């Protein structure tokens, strides 16, 4: 399924003051593969991303293995990680206004990464920065390079952030809600751009979002996260067509606003995401799950039925010929 | 329709001045609204759709008389509301209420929920038992009654938006204007809030005006929509007919940019932008 190994994550645990916020997550993104990571707020998505980048805040620790080019990133010192971050693994943040330095011209911000990691001199880095701004399709790249972030629109700023992330041809690109703050047409352009660039560079993409249709648009594989665990994994089209985990089915049903429960009301997931540390024992989803029973007191394993690669962590998975009670959607 | 529209804008133009670049010349005017006319009828759910900078929020502000048009007029129940001094707009302040995008910034963090919800009633000097009314509203929006002594930060995003909705309902309005009311919420919570809005609109016979860039939300909630681009309404009509058969190229482009679960966004979008 995967080609040359890109990023391998094994049993990643992230602890916030002794509470497990990410509970032993494992996945693998092959070179040139595009993986989506979805779930509601408070499910551990962003912590997973920050752990990969070595950017966890104080008091939050990660253990397990994050393997990139044969090295475990979690073993590296801060100094070693600085050399990796932005060079081998880069990130696109949600809010470009806070990701960019407001007092620095955007060209210099792109060039900074090149000077730091590639040891380019000022002139070479500036010239390359203009090329990169052109690659992310900013109009008049040489003039744009001299502008400050506040002089650009939201979509243009996000392109600058993407240019910075791509500056050193990273092997892995992590994008955390990269298009959430953008208008639909700008979002579509941004997704098209990310799709093209990732394909051309053969980089592995990890796209984190709560927007399922965005994942469907550019990813091949999908991880569904809830309560700090991966609850479903598989091919994007398959998972969205016939989710096996009730949580995935619930997310899908509440996304598709045409799907109602018969009385004209939208289907929703009952209850809400518990706060950190108050998820139930056993299956993390059992207090909101329509299918939960006594068996769910034990932790389900992430397994696939014979002959399939669609893994779900559920004691009572939905079989493909048996729709969930919440009405069939017509997307 | 021959009945007087509930809210109406006639040929509204709103110009802002950009900051001046030189000491001798004043800043250039920017047209946020360029001759916009709309009618919103009683009991309908009306959507204003467009991207950032299209003028949709400006239009909603003029319909609520929170902003004054440069030229043109807005009417409420046939009564002029543009250029009218605030002291004579009491009726409008009671009848038209608003729900904003981010409850964390639209709710005062230092006020208890009971005071937040009762504030419109106090401000408008409405008679009656405010405490009983607050309890009733908490129930309507599906929040536990005992939570009234808590502060906004003690609630989740979806619950905060419920508080904002309870506050909007407090004065007994006829119209609720929602400016991106579900954009800051998770998908599962978004569906809960949309259900709540539909239920309340029916229960209290409300007219809804929804300002949003999210086309799927507008499609679900609204009977009629106006599509805005660069300060103009480019297309208006029944929601379903516009979605089924968009006439204006901008509407077509906008609709083609909406990602769906079938994952064919890039194909569709590439086709529409060539």
Is the distance from CB of B266 to CB of A217 less than 8 angstroms?
A: yes
Q: Residue B94: pLDDT band by 50, 70, 90 thresholds?
A: very high
Domain membership of residue B1 (yes or no) is no
Report, as an integer, the average pLDDT of B94-107: 92
- How far, CA to CA in Å, does A264 sit from each of A13, A290, B141, B201, B207? 42, 20, 18, 14, 19
Domain membership of residue B118 (yes or no) is yes
At residue B232, what are phi and psi to the nearest 5 degrees? -125, 155
Chain A residues in contact with B264 by the CB 8 A cut-off are: 217
Q: Which of A114-118, A160-164, A196-200, B121-125 has the lowest mean pLDDT?
A: A196-200
Q: Is B269 on the interface with A (CB under 8 A)?
A: yes
Q: What percent of chain A has pLDDT over 90?
A: 63
Average pLDDT of chain B to the nearest whole number: 91
Overall fold of domain A5-219: Rossmann fold (3.40.50)
Domain boundaries, given as residue ranges, for chain A: 5-219, 225-313
pLDDT tens digits for range A42-83:
889 989 999 999 999 988 999 999 999 889 999 999 999 999
Using the predicted structure, report yes or no on whether residue B108 has a pLDDT greater than 90: yes
- Can you give the pTM of this predicted structure? 0.86
pLDDT at B264: 83
Are the Cβ atoms of B156 and A272 closer than 8 angstroms?
yes
pLDDT at A268: 83
Q: Is B215 on the interface with A (CB under 8 A)?
A: yes
Are the Cβ atoms of A188 and B266 closer than 8 angstroms?
yes
Residue B248 CB neighbour total at 10 angstroms: 15
Q: Chain B: residue nearest A250 by CA?
A: B188
pLDDT at B78: 93
Q: Residue B274: pLDDT band by 50, 70, 90 thresholds?
A: low
Using the predicted structure, report yes or no on whether residue A328 has a pLDDT greater than 50: no
Helix (H, G, I), strand (E, B) or coil at A23: strand
Q: Chain A: residue nearest B272 by CA?
A: A185
Using the predicted structure, report yes or no on whether residue B123 has a pLDDT greater than 80: yes
Could you list the residue range(s) of the whole structural domain that residue B98 is in? Answer: 7-273
Using the predicted structure, report yes or no on whether residue A2 has a pLDDT greater than 80: no
Helix (H, G, I), strand (E, B) or coil at A310: coil
Q: How do beta strands A204-209 and A221-226 pair? A: unpaired
Chain A residues in contact with B52 by the CB 8 A cut-off are: 154, 183
What DSSP letter does each residue of A249-304 carry, written as one string? HHHHHHH-TT-B-SSSPBP--SS-PPPTT-SPSSSTTTTT-TT--GGGGSPPPEE-
Q: Is B248 on the interface with A (CB under 8 A)?
A: no
Strand extents, DSSP E, A57-134: 60-68, 71-72, 89-92
Rounded to whole angstroms, the Cα distance separating A32 from A34 reads 7
Give the CATH number of the domain where residue B205 resides: 3.40.50.300
pLDDT tens digits for range A292-314:
999 999 999 999 988 888 999 99
* Residue that has been written with the tokens 């900013």 in this structure: A138
Picking from B253, B261, B266, the nearest residue to A191 by CB comes out as B266
Q: Is B219 on the interface with A (CB under 8 A)?
A: yes
Is the distance from CB of A62 to CB of A73 less than 8 angstroms?
A: no
Domain membership of residue B2 (yes or no) is no
Q: How many domains does chain B have?
A: 1
Min Cα separation A197/chain B (Å): 14
Q: Is B227 on the interface with A (CB under 8 A)?
A: no
Chain A residues in contact with B270 by the CB 8 A cut-off are: 192
Q: Is B19 on the interface with A (CB under 8 A)?
A: no
pLDDT at B223: 94
* Residue that has been written with the tokens 């650009």 in this structure: A152
Residues of A with CB under 8 A from a CB of B: 40-41, 154, 183-189, 191-192, 195, 210-214, 216-218, 236-237, 240, 250-252, 254-258, 264-269, 272-273, 329, 331
Chain A residues in contact with B215 by the CB 8 A cut-off are: 184
What DSSP letter does each residue of B41-77 carry, written as one string? -TT-EEEEE--TTSSHHHHHHHHTTSS--SEEEEEET
Are the Cβ atoms of A216 and B262 closer than 8 angstroms?
yes
Torsion of Cα atoms, A253 then A258 then A264 then A268, to 10°: 20
Picking from B195, B215, B266, the nearest residue to A268 by CB comes out as B195
Q: Is B244 on the interface with A (CB under 8 A)?
A: no
Is the distance from CB of A136 to CB of A158 less than 8 angstroms?
A: no
Domain membership of residue B64 (yes or no) is yes
In 3-state terms chain B splits into helix, strand, coil percentages (rounded to 5) of 40, 25, 35
Rounded to whole angstroms, the Cα distance separating B20 from B28 reads 7
Are the Cβ atoms of A213 and B261 closer than 8 angstroms?
yes
Any idea what DSSP says for residue B145? G
Are the Cβ atoms of A266 and B263 closer than 8 angstroms?
no
Report, as an integer, the average pLDDT of B190-215: 92
Q: Residue A183: pLDDT band by 50, 70, 90 thresholds?
A: confident
């Amino acid at each position: 399924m995967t080609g040359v190994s890109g990023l391998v994550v094994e049993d990643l645990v992230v602890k916030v003051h002794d509470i497990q916020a990410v509970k032993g997550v494992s996945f693998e993104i092959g070179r040139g593969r595009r993986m989506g990571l979805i779930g509601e707020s408070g499910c551990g998505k962003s912590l997973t991303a920050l752990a990969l980048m070595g950017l966890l805040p104080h008091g939050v620790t990660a253990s397990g293995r994050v393997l990139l080019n044969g090295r475990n990133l979690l073993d590296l010192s801060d100094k070693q990680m600085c050399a990796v971050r932005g060079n081998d693994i880069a990130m696109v943040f949600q809010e470009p206004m806070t990701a960019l330095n407001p007092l620095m011209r955007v060209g210099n911000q792109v060039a900074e990464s090149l000077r730091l990691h590639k040891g380019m001199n000022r002139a070479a880095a500036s010239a390359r920065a203009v090329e990169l701004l052109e690659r992310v399709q900013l109009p008049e790249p040489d003039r744009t390079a001299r502008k400050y972030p506040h002089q650009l629109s939201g979509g243009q700023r996000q392109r600058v952030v993407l240019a910075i992330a791509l500056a050193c041809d990273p092997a892995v690109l992590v994008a955390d809600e990269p298009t959430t703050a953008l208008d639909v047409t700008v979002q579509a352009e941004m997704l098209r751009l990310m799709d093209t660039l990732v394909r051309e560079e053969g980089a592995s993409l990890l796209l984190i979002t709560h927007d399922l249709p965005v994942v469907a648009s550019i990813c091949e594989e999908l991880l569904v996260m809830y309560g700090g665990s991966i609850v479903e994994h598989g091919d994007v089209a398959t998972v969205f067509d016939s989710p096996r985990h009730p949580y995935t089915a619930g997310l899908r049903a509440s996304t598709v606003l045409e799907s109602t429960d018969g009385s004209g009301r939208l289907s929703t997931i009952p209850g809400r995401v518990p706060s950190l540390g108050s998820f139930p024992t056993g299956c993390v989803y059992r207090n909101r799950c329509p299918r939960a029973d006594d068996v769910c007191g034990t932790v389900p394993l992430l397994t696939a039925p014979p002959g399939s690669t669609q893994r779900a962590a559920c004691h009572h998975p939905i079989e493909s010929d048996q729709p969930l009670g919440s009405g069939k959607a017509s997307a | 329709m021959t009945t007087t529209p509930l809210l109406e804008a006639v040929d509204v133009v709103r110009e802002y001045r950009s900051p001046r670049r030189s000491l001798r010349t004043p800043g250039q005017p920017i047209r946020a609204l360029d001759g916009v006319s709309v009618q919103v009828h009683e009991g309908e759910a009306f959507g204003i759709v467009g991207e950032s900078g299209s003028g949709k929020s400006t239009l909603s502000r003029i319909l609520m008389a929170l902003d004054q048009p440069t030229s043109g007029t807005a009417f409420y129940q046939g009564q002029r509301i543009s250029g009218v001094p605030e002291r004579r707009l009491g009726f409008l302040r009671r009848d038209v209420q608003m729900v904003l995008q981010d409850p964390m910034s639209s709710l005062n963090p230092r006020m208890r929920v009971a005071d937040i919800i009762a504030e419109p009633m106090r401000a408008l000097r409405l008679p009656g038992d405010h405490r009983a009314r607050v309890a009733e509203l908490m129930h309507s929006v599906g929040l536990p009654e005992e939570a009234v002594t808590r502060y906004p930060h003690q609630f989740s995003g979806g619950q905060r938006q419920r508080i904002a909705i309870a506050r909007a309902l407090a004065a007994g309005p006829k119209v609720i204007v929602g400016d991106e009311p579900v954009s800051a919420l998770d998908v599962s919570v978004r569906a809960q809030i949309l259900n709540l809005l539909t239920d309340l609109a029916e229960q209290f016979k409300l007219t809804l005006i929804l300002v949003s860039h999210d086309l799927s939300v507008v499609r679900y909630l609204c009977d009629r929509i106006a599509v805005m681009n660069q300060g103009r309404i480019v297309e208006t009509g029944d929601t379903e007919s516009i979605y089924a058969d968009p006439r204006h190229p901008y509407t077509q482009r906008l609709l083609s940019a909406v990602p769906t679960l079938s994952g064919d966004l890039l194909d569709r979008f590439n086709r529409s932008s060539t």
